[in-house]
Amino acid sequence: MAYGTPTTPADVEAYYTRIRHGRPPTPELLADLTRRYDAIGGTSPLAERTAAQVAGIRAALEDRCPGRYDVRFGSKYEPPLLEAAAASFRDDGFETVIGLVLAPHSSTMSTDQYFARAKVELGESVRFIGIETWWEEPAFLELIAQRVNDALATIPAERRATTEVLFSAHSLPEKILSVGDSYPEQIRESAVRAAALANVERFDVAWQSAGRTADPWIGPDILQVLRDKHAAGVTDVVSCPIGFVADHLEVLFDVDIEAQGVAQEIGLNLVRTASLNDDPTFTAILADVVIAAS
């Protein structure tokens, strides 16, 4: 399962309305989202990236356990919706369904909602196994560390002492903290472990892509953190969006355009780690996660 993305510019308004739980966006909000999609080519490549990830997981599972797994995809906000995928398993007589969200960390506002919707559609006759998190998988953290070191290698050795790695993830409303949501702690701990594996001592955590709502969202925001780092003498930053597993709007615009724009404005060199996308090493890790949950 994954969040979903509009597949054409004409789908943006309907997609935005679904995200807002049936409330159409204001003209200003719609124009802002359209502007961001236009900046990365009109639509996000997320649908294509996700399809490739699903295909990679399917192939890895078939290679490890021939004939054992049937892999289907469902989206939270864009067809094919996760309810349709769940219903197809139920209607085809499957007795056990494993839910894997293409996000490493869990939250009451993310993975919990996917699982709740899938369970309702599957009904009582189907056993549902929801994989809560998988960021602690050693192979995943090692892959992130490798991406960090690859990015660090592009920075001249004489500037390494003033280089910092900035791990980031999608911000969520601060109200999740009142219910004891562990999402922020998961992000920080995954950054700590990945940095240790990469042998990186200078690193920090920032938040990005906060929603356009009146509610306060978890911070500090990556744009402010970049300014603060530069003011503190940092010359180079490696951006590692550890909460995301594919190229999409929150990476291609929020990091590559918006954060990069701030970096260029203040004279900071910003390089980003390569997204995992359908790297066979990554999809094999997810296949192993599924098998372990079975």
User: Phi and psi at residue 122, in whole multiples of 5°?
Assistant: -70, -35
Q: Residue 212: its pLDDT value, please?
A: 84
Q: Residue 214: its pLDDT value, please?
A: 87
CA 292 – CA 279 distance, rounded (Å): 20
Q: Residue 78: its pLDDT value, please?
A: 93
Coil vs helix vs strand at 160? helix
**Residues of the chain where predicted confidence (pLDDT) is lower than 70:** none
CA 110 – CA 74 distance, rounded (Å): 14
- What's the pTM value of the predicted model, to 2 decimals? 0.96
CB atoms within 10 A of CB 190: 23
Helices (H) and strands (E) in the chain, counts: 11, 6
Domains of the chain: 138-272 (3.40.50.1400)
